Structure 1
Amino acid sequence: ILGIFLPAIGTLAGGFVAGWMVRGGIWNGAKAGLLAGLLGAIVISLLIVIGGTIFFGPLGFIAGLGASILIVLAVFIYQGILSLIGGAIGGALHH
């Protein structure tokens, strides 16, 4: 059951840490958490494209690019919102 919640907990924790580190209260914490979530989604998509290229050549690049576009759209929303919430909590507790 922990496997289901672990990605959400990790994203919230990352946003919380980003919000805790940034000064300025809830709003700046939320912005820092959102940025952390979006950067995490970009890193995931780059790893998919690079992995597809390394293992499958040009076809893997095209498949990885297509998959990464879909994943980035979904993960931007998922990680962005959860990190924003975590950042707001971190900013509120630090302030």
Structure 2
Amino acid sequence: MTKWRAVIIGFILSVIVQSFFAHYDFIGLLIIGFITGYIAHDGALGGLWNAALAGALGTIVCAILFILTTTIGGSFMGVFGGLTGFTTSSIVSILAIIEELLYYAIVMGITGAIGGAIASKK
């Protein structure tokens, strides 16, 4: 049921949108979800699954990149200052990461279902 080619393409595009085009993430997610579902060619349910999986993976990778940035480059004190920043930010932002994970999975999943449904009609 999982088409890894479609998931990897959607994953890369979702990381690019979240990293570089954060102001336009909703429109970008709609487009990327549709593209992922269309590439999957597995009907509405398959498109939903593949696009939601790509969005979830993209969110997880961006959260890891955020944690690494906070830990390594968090302050001028080096690693110890970064670890303090990491501890503070991880306790505060765990709910924000879960919210982003659900947001990306739902938005990309809905448009992925539309793209998968259109692709299966041909």
Read off the aligned partner of 1:71 and give its amino acid letter: A
Rate the CA distance shift 1:54–1:21 in 2: closer, same or farther, 3 A: same
Q: Distance in 1 between the 2:101 and 2:22 partners?
A: 19
Mapping of residues 1-95 of structure 1, within 5 Å: 6-56=24-74, 57-95=82-120
Residue 51 of structure 1 deviates from its aligned partner by: 0.8
Give the number of aligned pairs: 93
Structure 1 segments (4+ residues) deviating >3 Å? none
Over alpha carbons, which structure has the higher Rg? 2
Residue 61 of structure 1 deviates from its aligned partner by: 2.0
> For 2:87, what is the secondary structure of its paired residue?
helix
Read off the aligned partner of 2:45 and give its amino acid letter: W
Residue 64 of structure 1 deviates from its aligned partner by: 3.6
Residues 45, 69 of structure 1: 8 Å contact kept: no
Residue 70 of structure 1 deviates from its aligned partner by: 2.1
Gaps of 5+ in 2: 1-20, 75-81
Gaps of 5+ in 1: none
Q: Name which structure has the greater RCO, CA cutoff 8 Å, separation 6+.
A: 1
Q: Distance in 1 between the 2:55 and 2:22 partners?
A: 18
**1:13-45: CA deviations, max 9, x gaps?**
121111011122111000011101101110121
Residues 20, 91 of structure 1: 8 Å contact kept: yes
Q: Distance in 1 between the 2:35 and 2:110 partners?
A: 11
Q: CA RMSD in A?
A: 2.0
